[in-house]
Structure 1
Amino acid sequence: MHLKNKRTLLFITAFTFLLLAFNSPQLPEKLQKKVNAAISYAYGTESFKLSGITSDVIPPKDYVFKIKTDDTVTGYAYVGQANSMKNVFDYVVFINKDLSIKKTKVLIYREDHGRQIGAQRWLKQFIGLSINKKPVYGENVDAISGATISAKSMTIAVKNVLKTIQKLNNKKLL
């Protein structure tokens, strides 16, 4: 390979790396609309900005965003997927600045059975949990008859969200 070709290849590689490193994570459009609506409802405002957080501690296919109102961090949104019986469902967990859970919401559920986990009556069990008080299915999180797999999966997902938030906080990324 000629020197000119090596330089060109090096430039393209470096430019691509920079684009990936500074590019904020992007949700699919349908999911982004649901997240925006959930943020508006949870925080009582239509005026907010999302700023993506990237780190190797965030699992693939999961997203973490700072929620800002008037250039002040209001909280964080963690968007992920969890397993249901035959498919996956999308959820969001809103985290307060003190790293406790403000609210959880199932955004897209793709099964005919187990939809009960999307009920706010069940999801409110997660409010207030934090890195110091994690969810445990059957102890501080109630079981749901007919939605056992999804309920366990959501509980594990929230526990993992809190672990990831703790790691991001330890890395001073929050």
Structure 2
Amino acid sequence: MNTRFFILFITSFVFVAFSVPDNVAKKAHKEMVKFYETENISKEIISVSKDLNAKTVSEFGDENLFKIISNGKFIGYGYIGNAPSKTATFDYLVLFDKDFVVTHNKVLIYREEYGGEISSKRWLKQFLGASPSSEEFLYNRNIIPISGATISVKSLTTEMNSLMKSIAILQKLKAL
């Protein structure tokens, strides 16, 4: 009986860990509507098999990597991620064009008292124009540090590097 409970617990944790919470999905949708300046936005989920996911650095779950469709036309890609901060996590959105060049990014939910400065458009614009073949992001070199947000800055920098490497792997394996 204890084994069954443990397996059920682990299975439910894994399911929750790979799903985008409703409130995060709603904020992401609202941000996409604003960025693309149209109410008619839908997502087409890109499924990444367990085998392919094991070869990537980022985790691709049921809902966090998707094609963005507007009025029946493919307009780009999106990714919703979750990154650690000092004592909690934060959720973020990355939008790409059709060639996986970063066109927009946004911290959707930041759960810490300090470090929220990473949400500023001015700071986030450092990632714009990046692609899977771009130079790696390096803290205090091509990514500006923020006093009081060091952990969050390093975390998002690491997450963006992982995402770009993972997309490059999926492209190389012809999964995208």
Compared CA separation, residues 48 and 26, structure 1 to 2 (3 A)? farther
Q: 1:36-55 counterparts in 2 under 5 A?
A: 36-55=29-48
Single out whichever of 155-164 and 132-141 deviates more from structure 2. 132-141
Unaligned residue ranges in structure 2 (runs of 5+) = 1-17
How far apart are 1:136 and its partner, in Å?
1.7
| Contact 2:133–2:168 (Cα < 8 Å) also in 1 | no
| CA distance in 1: counterparts of 2:139 and 2:93, whole angstroms | 19
Name the % identity. 37
Larger radius of gyration: 1
Q: 1:107 — aligned with what?
A: 108
**What residue ranges of structure 1 are gaps of 5+ in the alignment?**
1-24
Candidates 1, 22, 26, aligned match of 1:29: 22
Q: Tell me the TM-score normalised to structure 2 length.
A: 0.79
Aligned-residue offset at 1:171: 3.4
Deviation at 1:172, TM superposition (A): 3.1
Match of 2:59 in 1: 59
Runs of 4+ in 1 over 4 A off after TM superposition: none
Equivalent position amino acid for 1:54 in 2: S
Q: Number of residues paired by the alignment?
A: 150
Q: Which amino acid letter does the alignment assign opposite residue 95 of structure 2?
A: F
Distance apart, 1:168 and its partner CA = 2.5
The answer on whether the counterparts of 1:100 and 1:129 sit within 8 Å (CA) in structure 2 is yes
Superposition RMSD in Å: 1.8
8 Å Cα contact 1:129-1:135 kept in structure 2? no
SS of the residue corresponding to residue 145 of structure 2 reads coil
Task: Provide Cα deviations, 1:59-88, integer angstroms capped at 9, x if missing partner.
Answer: 165710110123222111111111100111
Corresponding residue number in structure 1 for 2:71? 70
Q: Is the 8 A contact 1:49 1:68 kept in 2?
A: yes
Conservation of the 8 A alpha-carbon contact between 1:53 and 1:173? no
